[in-house]
Amino acid sequence: MTGAADRPVRGYSGGMRRRLDLAGALVADPPVLFLDEPTTGLDPRARAGLWEVISELVAGGTTVLLTTQYLEEADRLAERIAVVDHGHVIALGTADELKDQVGGDRIELTVAGAGDLAAARQALASFGEVRVDPAALHVTVPVTGGTAALTTALGLLAAERVTVRDAGLRRPTLDDVFLTLTGHEVTAEKEPAR
């Protein structure tokens, strides 16, 4: 921020104002720091820089209570997470504990063409409910067994001559947790009219 020290604050960008807010909060070296959506409106580089500062504060012994709608941010920074919906805590735990509540691994794959979707659905039906996104040529199916399940699935698809462009095994995200627990997407609270 030293490069902007001679400029009036009213001319600062949103990112600069957030950094100034954080600097002001840190002057007293607080043992507990409350941050309310500190990265809202920041570009990816500024967000990563603020994440680094928060991680350093925690490593130095500061307790940080962070509110955020960016669930990737919570996943990366938080030791414990409280999922709040309509003002009520509906789940509490580590990121892994919350992810375990909504299920295990999933195979996600993209096929080459629309003709491959029906064959992929049929080939993978033995794993469970197969979800298909025709517009994206994307197929998702829940699995147990990790990479062994992925290997088996790819073998089944090859036997049906399904052309797979991309395939991977992934755990649920905190977005998946929120959607499953609340039944709706993360939405910003509307500012009250003034």
Give the helix/strand (H/E) hosting 177.
Answer: helix 174-182
pLDDT at residue 191 in the model: 45
Q: Tens digits of per-residue pLDDT, 139-183?
A: 999 888 889 999 999 999 999 999 999 999 998 889 888 888 888
Closest by Cα among 169, 164, 127, 173 to 146: 169
The average pLDDT across 105-123 equals 94
- CB 42 within 8 Å of CB 13: no
What is the pLDDT at residue 74? 93
Mean pLDDT over each residue of the chain, to the nearest integer: 88
User: 51 vs 78, 119, 147, CA distance in Å?
Assistant: 11, 44, 31
Positions of CATH 3.30.70.100 in the chain: 105-170
Dig out the tokens for 1 from the structure: 């921020």
In the chain, CATH 3.40.50.300 covers 2-96
Give the pLDDT band (50/70/90) at residue 134: very high
Judge contact between 117 and 139, C-beta under 8 A: yes
Residue 188: the pLDDT is 52
Q: How far apart are CA 69 and CA 81, in angstroms?
A: 12
The C-alpha atoms of residue 72 and residue 75 are separated, in whole angstroms, by: 5
Question: Is it true that domain 105-170 has CATH number 1.10.10.60?
Answer: no
Rounded CA-CA distance 139/73 in Å is: 27
- Over residues 7-31, the pLDDT tens digits come to 888 878 777 787 788 888 888 889 9
Q: Is the dihedral of CA 7, 35, 55, 61 positive or negative?
A: positive
Looking at the DSSP bridge assignments, the partners of residue 65 are 34
What is residue 89's DSSP assignment?
E
Judged by average pLDDT, the poorest of 5-9, 74-78, 114-118 is: 5-9
Q: Which CATH class is domain 2-96?
A: alpha beta
Identify the pLDDT of residue 159: 97
Spatial contact of 80 and 47, defined as CB atoms under 8 Å apart = no
* Local confidence band at 194 (pLDDT 50, 70, 90 cut-offs): very low
